[in-house]
């Protein structure tokens, strides 16, 4: 089994009265709550955590895309992937993902992913989400009536741009390009493709057709997620796909301490910050008309999603033990977490677990503690799970010895007076 370390990058300074004074954490969130100077530390702390997770042996480092969102500070996951490509050596770069329908031309996504794959030596996992309605329709202004058409066309264009060695013309409904000819191209052809979804039937069929990984990124945990994943596996069986747990990923909030009591003491307030403030979304931005297809509405999944959003609203009022019992979080001592995570993996039948170890306003050092506890005390016992299956959805990087080694950061300019090049010194003399 594979374990990925994922950070949403929430803004940790939302005020205590945020939910009373503001209607949404997303789309029309009050920009006056943002402070760019504090963001300097926030971004660097979060990137430090991702790099720390590489040291701890996590299989992948996860990042994603949100816009105008105070719980997800990555409008461009590509930028995060670029710095991780230089500053890490082994872990997969789980770019989960880029909302491809937002970019015109979509070949820009193909180009950037190719650059990341080249720089990282073939460690990229490319996530192709449709994207949330809040991001795509409301924050970025994409028409919900044609969003899915654009998504599918962008997907087809990117796949062909990666694979067709010749210049070709693309005469689509939404994109027209006379000369498509990608330069650079990815090392992996193509990088593994994961499709994050929230339970639409069309997405399941799309994953089955192309043999993509389906990633269910939920904040309501594995007990509620089990029903949806059961639907996914049933659909895959109906479509004749051979079962392989690595074709699915699931995201779960996790925190580990020495004892169950210590876990509550250390993490409860940060979990509450996440469930109450970070998920405070105005319902009018949840679901633009046309964002979901009629089939999805008809299948009753919209109803289920409405149930889920109220489940999210409930989370803030649950006791700590209820949050664990209902699966919103996996928490406790290493033994407790092992027992809960075994249930996560076996009840959902997923080979990839996206571990949300940072949540809300959790400080860096605390998150490092939890990250290390999970890596050293729990994961070794879980890794043998699903070893009888082959993982076709992880990157196949270049051999380690063939990969370029980035120059180390020296900080010479910060720690010593800057030396002046003789030519520059001469020029200064002439001017004076």
Partner 1 sequence: MSLQKLTLASSGLDVHYYRAGRGEPLLYLHHLIGIAGFEPALGKLAEHFDVIAPYAPGWGPAKDDLEKMDPGPLDLTLHFCDVLDALGVASAHVAGISIGGWMAAELAAIAPQRVQKLVLVNPLGLWLEEAPGEDPFAQHPGNPSEVLFADKASRKKYLVDGRNPLDALVEELLNLRAGAKFLWPIPDTGVKRRLPRIKAQTLVVTSEHDAIVPAAAYGAAWQSAIPGAKLARLAGAGHLAELEQPERFAALVTEFVASDRVAAVA
Comparison of 104 and 237: residue with beta carbon closer to partner 1: 104
Binding region for partner 1 (CB under 8 A) out of 93-101, 162-170, 174-182, 280-288: 280-288
Comparison of 300 and 414: residue with beta carbon closer to partner 1: 300
Tokens of 174: 């939404």
Tokens of 203: 């997405």
**Binding positions for partner 1, 98-137, rule CB under 8 A:** 137
Residue 176 binds partner 1 (CB under 8 A):
no
Which stretches of 34-85 are assigned E, i.e. beta strand? 60-63
Phi/psi for 52 (5° steps) reads: -65, -40
Binding region for partner 1 (CB under 8 A) out of 229-237, 287-295, 345-353, 421-429: 287-295
Q: Which element (helix H / strand E) includes 331? A: strand 329-332
Question: Considering the complex, what minimum distance in angstroms separates the CB of residue 394 from partner 1?
Answer: 37
Binding region for partner 1 (CB under 8 A) out of 66-74, 102-110, 278-286, 399-407: 278-286
Question: Considering the complex, what minimum distance in angstroms separates the CB of residue 54 from partner 1?
Answer: 40
Question: Considering the complex, what minimum distance in angstroms separates the CB of residue 283 from partner 1?
Answer: 5
Residue 298 binds partner 1 (CB under 8 A):
yes
Question: Considering the complex, what minimum distance in angstroms separates the CB of residue 147 from partner 1?
Answer: 10
Considering only 113, 263, 288, 341, the residue that binds partner 1 (CB under 8 A) is 288
Q: Are strands 248-256 and 213-216 parallel, antiparallel or unpaired?
A: parallel
**Binding positions for partner 1, 372-431, rule CB under 8 A:** none
Considering only 39, 145, 404, 425, the residue that binds partner 1 (CB under 8 A) is 145
Considering only 17, 36, 141, 169, the residue that binds partner 1 (CB under 8 A) is 141
Residue 307 binds partner 1 (CB under 8 A):
no
Binding region for partner 1 (CB under 8 A) out of 209-217, 242-250, 298-306, 398-406: 298-306
Distance CA 287, CA 282 (A): 10
DSSP 187-223: SSSSPPEEEEESS-HHHHHHHHHHTPEEEE--SSHHH
Tokens of 15: 């005020």
389, 294 Cβ separation under 8 angstroms: no
| Long-range contact set of residues 76-79: C-beta below 8 Å, sequence gap at least 24 | 78/112, 78/113, 78/116
Phi/psi for 234 (5° steps) reads: -65, -40
Binding region for partner 1 (CB under 8 A) out of 216-224, 286-294, 317-325, 345-353: 286-294
Comparison of 174 and 235: residue with beta carbon closer to partner 1: 174
Tokens of 243: 């079962």
Question: Considering the complex, what minimum distance in angstroms separates the CB of residue 60 from partner 1?
Answer: 34
Comparison of 143 and 317: residue with beta carbon closer to partner 1: 143
49, 366 Cβ separation under 8 angstroms: no
Comparison of 146 and 314: residue with beta carbon closer to partner 1: 146
Binding region for partner 1 (CB under 8 A) out of 36-44, 60-68, 138-146, 313-321: 138-146
Comparison of 89 and 174: residue with beta carbon closer to partner 1: 174
Considering only 287, 301, 356, 357, the residue that binds partner 1 (CB under 8 A) is 287
- Give Cβ neighbours of residue 410 (< 8 Å, ≥ 6 apart): none
Considering only 289, 414, 417, 422, the residue that binds partner 1 (CB under 8 A) is 289
Distance CA 79, CA 73 (A): 12
Residues binding partner 1: number (CB under 8 A): 23
Distance CA 162, CA 110 (A): 7
Distance CA 381, CA 374 (A): 10
Helix, strand, coil percentages for the chain (3-state, nearest 5) = 50, 15, 40
Distance CA 99, CA 127 (A): 8
Nearest to 145 by CA among 302, 284, 292: 292
Considering only 30, 43, 146, 326, the residue that binds partner 1 (CB under 8 A) is 146
Considering only 15, 184, 284, 363, the residue that binds partner 1 (CB under 8 A) is 284
Question: Considering the complex, what minimum distance in angstroms separates the CB of residue 286 from partner 1?
Answer: 6
- Give Cβ neighbours of residue 381 (< 8 Å, ≥ 6 apart): 338
What b-and-e string marks burial along 261-287, b requiring 16 or more CB atoms within 10 Å of the CB? eebbebbbebbbbbbbbbbbbbeebbb
Considering only 201, 226, 241, 286, the residue that binds partner 1 (CB under 8 A) is 286
Binding site for partner 1 (CB under 8 A): 137-138, 141, 143-146, 149, 283-290, 294, 297-298, 300, 302-303, 306
């Amino acid at each position: 089994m594979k374990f990925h370390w994922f950070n949403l990058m929430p803004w940790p300074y939302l005020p205590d009265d945020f939910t009373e004074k503001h209607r949404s954490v997303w789309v029309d969130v009050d920009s006056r709550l943002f402070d760019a100077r504090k963001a300097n530390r926030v971004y660097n702390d979060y990137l430090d955590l991702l790099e720390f997770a590489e040291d701890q042996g996590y299989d992948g480092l996860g990042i994603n895309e949100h816009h105008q969102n105070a719980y997800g500070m990555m409008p461009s996951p590509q930028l995060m992937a670029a710095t991780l490509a230089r500053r890490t050596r082994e872990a997969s770069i789980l770019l989960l993902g880029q909302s491809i329908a937002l970019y015109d031309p979509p070949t820009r996504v193909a180009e950037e992913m190719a650059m990341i794959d080249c720089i990282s030596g073939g460690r990229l996992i490319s996530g192709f989400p449709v994207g949330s309605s809040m991001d795509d329709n409301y924050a970025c202004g994409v028409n919900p009536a044609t969003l899915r058409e654009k998504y599918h066309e962008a997907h087809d264009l990117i796949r062909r741009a990666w694979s067709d060695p010749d210049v070709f013309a693309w005469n689509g409904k939404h994109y027209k390009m006379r000369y498509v000819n990608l330069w650079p191209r990815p090392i992996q052809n193509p990088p593994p493709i994961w499709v994050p979804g929230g339970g639409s039937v069309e997405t399941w069929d799309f994953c089955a057709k192309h043999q993509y990984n389906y990633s269910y990124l939920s904040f309501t945990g594995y007990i509620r997620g089990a029903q949806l994943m059961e639907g996914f596996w049933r659909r895959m069986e109906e479509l004749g796909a051979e079962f392989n747990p690595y074709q699915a990923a699931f995201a779960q909030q996790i925190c580990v301490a020495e004892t169950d009591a210590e876990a509550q003491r250390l993490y409860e307030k940060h979990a509450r910050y996440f469930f109450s403030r970070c998920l405070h979304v105005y319902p009018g931005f949840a679901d633009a008309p046309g964002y979901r297809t009629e089939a999805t509405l008809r299948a009753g999944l919209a109803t289920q999603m409405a149930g889920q959003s109220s489940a999210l609203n409930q989370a803030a009022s649950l006791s700590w033990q209820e949050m664990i019992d209902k699966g919103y979080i996996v928490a406790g001592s290493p033994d407790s977490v092992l027992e809960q995570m075994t249930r996560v993996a076996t009840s959902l039948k997923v080979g990839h677990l996206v571990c949300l170890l940072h949540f809300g306003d959790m400080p860096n050092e605390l998150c490092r503690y939890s990250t290390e506890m999970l890596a050293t005390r729990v994961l070794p016992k879980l890794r043998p799970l699903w070893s009888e299956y082959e993982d076709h959805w992880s990157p196949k990087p270049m051999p380690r010895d063939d990969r370029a080694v980035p120059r180390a950061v020296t900080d010479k300019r910060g720690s010593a007076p800057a030396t002046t090049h003789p030519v520059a010194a001469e020029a200064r003399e002439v001017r004076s």
